[in-house]
Amino acid sequence: MDTFKNDLIKVEKRDDRIAVVTLNNPPMNLNSIASMRELADDFRILRRDDEVRVVILTAAGTKAFNVGTDLHEMADMNGYYKEKKFYGEMRMMDNIEFLPKPTICAIEGFCMGGGLELAMCCDFRIASDTARFAQPEITLGLYPGAGGLYRLPRIVGMGKALEMMYTGYQIDAQEALRYRLVNHVVPSGKTLEKALEIAQRIAGFSPIAIRTIKEGSRKMWQKESKDNYYTNLEYIEPVFESDNAQEGMKAFLEKREANFK
């Protein structure tokens, strides 16, 4: 297992195919300029690492996954540095969302503000039964400025998203599950275990097919249905003519495990 660690972010490679990225600033794992820069650098490395097929994003400790911006740091910034921070944070989150590999977020404890915005950049989320979620920016006279304004309605629906953003109220893990903000709820301390279980299954499939599912789903989500017909056709040929597709169909007919490259 390879490991590389900065001051605030730790990355471990499990069996080469799975990378676990850990926010390493407990107990609250706040977003700072330094941690966001390190996270961006690590995801750039993982993007170029052809061995890594799935990335899991989690955090140290069980009190909080992430509760957003370090307000002490932001309060001392002038306008130029605040703009630089917001731009860098949004660009980093876009890089995570559009990473051409599946991403899973494993959440323990509080996941709020910029922390929830960060979690929503991942393809799906696994929460502990003690997790709590909120977009509390309104209580500071602010709004979810790192992507929550458009990612939250897309995931939970406009009505629930507006309620959360208007009121700043917290929701628990079971309510988050009902509104599809998370995919699974597991006992506290077990989120990474569940994420690794799912990641190992995903990592065993054809990388080109997985990459196409991710890219195509996100691209077509933002288009009108009539345009998706043609977008879908663009993906068919390179996937079905790939060696992995041939291997998958052959293995099925031969009643054996496929060996995807």
**Structure confidence at residue 1 as a pLDDT band (50, 70, 90):** very low
Mean per-residue pLDDT, 2-30: 88
User: Hey, what CATH topology would domain 2-203 get?
Assistant: 2-enoyl-CoA Hydratase; Chain A, domain 1 (3.90.226)
Closest CA to 61 of 250, 192, 249, 232: 192
Assess whether pLDDT exceeds 70 at residue 72.
yes
Mind listing the pLDDT tens digit for each residue in 93-139?
A: 888 999 999 999 999 999 999 999 999 999 999 999 999 999 999 98
User: Locate tokens 């007919």: which residue?
Assistant: 253
Residues 35, 69, 12, 7: is their CA dihedral positive or negative?
positive
Assess whether pLDDT exceeds 60 at residue 208.
yes
**Ramachandran region, residue 157 (left: φ > 0; alpha: ψ -120 to 50; beta: rest):** left
Q: What is 176-191 written as a DSSP string? A: HHHTTS-SEEE-TT-H
Catalytic residues: 117, 137
**Structure confidence at residue 250 as a pLDDT band (50, 70, 90):** confident
